[in-house]
Amino acid sequence: MEAVSRGVQAARDFGAEALVVSLGFDASEHEPLNALNVTADGFARAGALIGGLGLPSALIQEGGYNIDLLGTLLQRFLTGWSEA
């Protein structure tokens, strides 16, 4: 969350007018490599932080190999985004 917070602040400081978000679900705690351990709640919080910018955005879903969870993680991210 610290990295996402820094990125959001950098977008604010820069005066970004739009975003392209590389949404990698390979950061999930349930991925085979398990390097970042992001929980479903973490994806929801990230969505809320980024969505809170209120900028026009393109989401590019990349990464994520546990296909049984991709839909759930996307739903959590978008729910956070829409509640921001």
Q: CB-based contacts of 83: which residues, under 8 Å, 6+ apart?
A: 48, 51
The CA distance from 84 to 11, in Å, is 16
Is the pLDDT confidence value at 77 over 80?
yes
Tens digit of each residue's pLDDT (9 = 90 or more) over 13-71: 999 999 999 999 999 999 887 788 999 999 999 999 999 999 999 999 988 989 999 99
pTM exceeds 0.95, yes or no:
no
